Every structure is written in C-alpha cells, then in structure tokens.
C-alpha cells in the first residue's frame, strides 16, 4: 500500500486517484471495496468526501472535496419555514429575510472566492458602468422540493451556459460553469427553509452579473460583481390564475435582428414596462411582441410562445432575436421524445394568423413555467383558446412530474445542491432550435 496522500481533486478525478494511489491494495482480498465517510453537516452545509480502501494493514487514501457529502450519506433537507402561507405566493420579492451570494472580479482577473451574507444593499459609485451604460445581465433558476423529500435545482447548467454567452456578448468576464453551479448550490443551501412544500411553489434564484467599477466613457467596466438573491414564489400571474390574457403589441418591438434580444440583458426588460402597463389597464395579463416586420410572433415580455394548430402541430418561433429559454428548450426536448404520439413540432416563423387559428396556446419561462393562454387580441382581431388545452396540460404535467420526481429524470435535468458535485452534467451539445 502507498503512504497516505491528501489531495483536493475534482469529482471526476476521485476514482482515478484511488486506483493510482491504492491500486496494489485494491487487488488484494482485503481491499476489494471502498467505503466513504463524511463529517456531518450542521447549519450551512460543509461536507467532506473521504474515500478509504478497506485494508487493515495499509494507510488510507483520503480524497477531500469541500462542500460535498460522501456518496451514499443520508441527507437531512431543512423543512419549509413555518408560518408561511405558501399557496398565496405570487411572483414577487416575498421576503428579505434571506441570504445572498456575492463574488467580485476585477477586469482581466479570474473569478475567485464567493461569500454568503444577509440580503442587503450593495455599494455602488455613481460612475458604476451598470448605472451609466447598462452593462449587465441576469438569470432565473428555480429550486423545488420533490415528492421524495429532496431539494433540487432544475437544469442550472443551462443557465450557466446562457449567462456565459450573455457575458461574452457584453464583454464581461464569464462566470465559469463550475463556479456558477457552486454559487447557486450555496444559495439554495443557505435558504433551504424557503423552498416551498412540494407542489406549492419554488425558490426562485436571481443571479446577476454587472459592471460595478467606477468608470467614465463608453467602455467595459474595470470591475464586475456577481450576486445571487432568492425569494419563494408561486404562480407568475398571481395565485389562483388559470390562464393568461395576452395583447399583441404593434407599436414597438422588443428586439431587432443582430441585437441583444437573444441574451438576458437588463435593457431588454425596462422597455416593456409601458406596454405592459397599458395592457394590464385594459384587462390583459401581458403583451406578445411581433418581429420588426410586424408579421410573425417573437415572444412575450418575459416568456416564450407556443401554439397548437388543428393538425396537431406545435409551433414555436426559432431562436435569433428571442431568448433561448430553458423551459422552452425543455418543452422542445419533451415533444421530440413523444415517439408514440401524433404530435409534430415545427420550430420556425409563427405568423399572427397561425396563432389566431390555433386550438390552444401557452407561454413558457422559468417564472411562468408552462402557462396556458386563454385569449389573444390585437384590438382588431381576437381568439379564445381552451384553457388549458389537452396538449398544454400534458406537457405541463410531464415537466412538473420531472421537477417533483413523480416521474424518472431520464434526461438528468435535476441537480441536488446538497449531494451532487458541482461539475455540469446537462449536455451542452443538444441541438438548439
């Protein structure tokens, strides 16, 4: 047996290290199996992964990974906080009694450490790049409590990829995927008692990345801040809502070709406020934007658009000027796997006429989930839809069953922030539509 070695390794290197450093012992009769051990977590999670060859005569190999439990260890997930009326939650900042994750990076440097601290004000100078030139992006992720008693994040690797794409577009240092996953996992562990009971909502995570350096002149910032704050949320359009009433917006567009409509840029959303205010004053839930030619559906103010036509074709606009939504991609992947169904998927231009002639329609987004549309109007023409329609209900059930672990997670979309390593597992090589 080799002498004891203490090394910090990535999870993918654990097995290789065990074989290299303890190979001779593993071939002996007394060392044919490995066992794991960990320091029990109390309060903020801080576990160890210790792999020891079972050899009485040999020193042990210790592989330590900070922030992870040992494989096979029982996990005690914090129960939901008492005294909260979870079913009355809408989509808003429900409480400030939370903890946020913060990291800072100077231009040209690497992302280093992160910290968890009480939710509160950030210090910014008036010359901060985000305040003057809007150099900032954000993300939205949900953590769910499942029917198996676990707490899981839904496809956070996709959000890590999208935030990195947006950072590169705005010349900000991308947050590495592993760093991003460690940060969102830490945010969940720090606020685990705010994850609602299964089926009664989710813990919404809002990662922010922005230029926080004090600079003057149209140029990238000298410093960047990465922040994640959280809030428990319910239905996007408010508790008790069954469907959305949507108004077609014809007096301005959300995004232009070759612009920044395909990233979650802060400037993409403030411009929607006036159109949303006017639509809500007329009794609508939100607006649907058309392309620059005024012919085809783009997306809603904060969600992607789908409709189902009488010939059983599910239509959704192609990527380009619209946001590559994680929920949108999930629906596309689910439909593509319905091999025993007569449903077909068409990703491409969706005309206004196609939307009005559909039998059902729905919105998708991290905040919205899958929300059925009950009415669409342009002022001159309108259409009513089944709410929810059978296809919308089926897809919604399929998605929520995976998120709540009532159905097998065959595509490995769920990430347990208490147990699993922080390297990404969700495939970034899936085709995008």
Active-site entry in 142, 264, 344, 346:
264
Total count of residues recorded for the chain: 433
User: Left, alpha or beta for 114 (phi > 0: left; psi -120 to 50: alpha)?
Assistant: beta
CA-to-CA dists, residue 152 to 196, 200, 418, angstroms: 12, 15, 9
- Residue 256 near residue 213, CB atoms below 8 Å: no
| Separation between Cα atoms, residue 175 and residue 180, nearest integer Å | 6
Tokens (6 digits) for 331: 């629906």
Of 174, 187, 269, 172, nearest in space to 228 by CA: 187
Residue 96 among the catalytic residues: no
Q: Which residues are catalytically annotated?
A: 264
């Amino acid at each position: 047996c080799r002498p004891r070695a203490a090394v910090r390794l990535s999870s993918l290197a654990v097995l290789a290290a065990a074989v290299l450093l303890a190979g001779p012992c593993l071939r002996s009769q007394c060392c044919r199996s490995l066992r794991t051990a960990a320091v029990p977590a109390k309060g903020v999670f801080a576990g160890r992964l210790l792999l020891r060859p079972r050899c009485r005569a040999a020193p042990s190999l210790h592989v330590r990974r900070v922030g992870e439990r040992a494989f096979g260890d029982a996990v005690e997930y914090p129960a939901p906080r008492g005294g909260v009326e979870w079913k009355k939650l809408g989509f808003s900042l429900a409480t400030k009694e939370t903890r946020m994750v913060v990291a800072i990076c100077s231009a040209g440097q690497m992302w280093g450490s992160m910290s968890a601290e009480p939710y509160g004000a950030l210090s910014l100078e008036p010359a901060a790049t985000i305040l003057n030139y809007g150099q900032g992006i954000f993300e939205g992720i949900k953590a769910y409590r499942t029917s198996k008693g676990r707490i899981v994040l839904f496809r956070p690797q996709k959000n890590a990829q999208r935030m990195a794409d947006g950072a590169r577009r705005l010349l900000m240092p991308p947050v590495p995927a592993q760093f991003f996953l460690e940060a969102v996992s830490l945010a969940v562990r720090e606020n685990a008692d705010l994850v609602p009971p299964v089926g009664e909502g989710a813990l919404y995570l809002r990662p922010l990345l922005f230029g926080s350096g004090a600079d003057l002149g149209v140029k990238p910032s000298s410093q960047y801040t990465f922040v994640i704050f959280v809030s428990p949320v319910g239905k996007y359009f408010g508790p008790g809502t069954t469907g959305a009433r949507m108004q077609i917006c014809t007096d301005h567009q959300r995004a232009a070709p070759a612009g920044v409509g395909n990233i979650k840029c802060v400037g993409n959303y403030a411009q929607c406020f006036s159109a949303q205010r006017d639509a809500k004053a007329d009794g609508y839930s939100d607006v649907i934007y058309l392309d620059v030619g005024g012919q085809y559906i783009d997306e809603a103010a904060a969600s992607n658009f789908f409709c189902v036509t009488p010939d059983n074709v599910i239509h959704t606009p192609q990527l380009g000027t619209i946001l590559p939504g994680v929920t949108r991609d999930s629906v596309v992947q689910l439909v593509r796997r319905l091999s025993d169904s007569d449903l077909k998927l068409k990703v491409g231009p969706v005309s206004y006429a196609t939307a009005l002639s559909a039998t059902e329609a729905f919105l998708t987004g991290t905040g919205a989930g899958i929300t059925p549309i009950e009415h669409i109007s342009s002022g001159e023409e309108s259409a009513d839809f089944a709410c929810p329609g059978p296809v919308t209900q089926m897809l919604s059930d399929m998605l929520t069953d995976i998120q709540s672990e009532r159905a097998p997670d065959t595509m490995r979309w769920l990430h347990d922030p208490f147990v699993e390593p922080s390297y990404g597992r969700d495939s970034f090589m899936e085709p995008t539509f």
